[in-house]
Amino acid sequence: MQKQKCVFLDRDGVLNRELGDYAYKLDHFEVLPRVPEALALLKQNGFLLIVVTNQAGIAKNIYTREDVLACHHKLQQACHNIIDALYFAPGHQSVSESLARKPDSLMLEKAIAKYNLDPAASWLVGDSDRDLAAAARVGVRAILVGDKYGPGAHPLQAADLWEAAQVIVRNAE
């Protein structure tokens, strides 16, 4: 069976607007501009699309799994149900240890095994150092998006997912 290529996607700050605290209320959950178009471009170029997101607010009792699932449903609707899988890590180090939580890589490892993914042909788009660290642990190339870090903070940077998708498509194996 041939291995597949994938783009792993962090959620907050990549797919939806980063609110500074937790994005879990449906009326505040806003899909960023050009996200549906970026995902469609990646899908047209043969990539599976898998969301990997830390959701520590669950462990902290700020919101529930149902709140996360409702936001994921809204995201899927806005993107025409194009996302292949959505993984989330509900833990937080203040409550319990979790290998799923980025910068650890268990969410990615599970997806790699389940979907027969080729890490060398796959990418991760994230907006933080912990996203990039998780990608490095499994041998996936990474692109840093957003404005949290200055120019030169990472070898591959883009303003947003749309620009990152252009880079991925140009550099696809």
Residue whose tokens read 């200055």:
150
Single out the catalytic residue among 10, 104, 127, 160. Answer: 10
Q: Please tell me the distance from the alpha carbon of residue 129 to that of residue 110, in angstroms, as a whole number.
A: 21
Q: How many residues are present in the chain?
A: 173
Active-site residue, selected from the candidate residues 12, 67, 127, 160? 12
Burial class (CB in 10 A: 0-12, 13-18, 19+), 61: exposed
Active site (annotated) includes residue 10: yes
Within 10 angstroms of residue 93's Cβ, the number of other Cβ atoms is: 10
Using the Cα atoms of residue 34, residue 130, residue 141 and residue 119 in order, give the sign of their dihedral: negative
CA-based R_g, the chain, Å = 15
**Residue 67 falls in the annotated catalytic set:** no
Pairing of strands 157-158, 141-145: parallel
The residues assigned a catalytic role are 10, 12
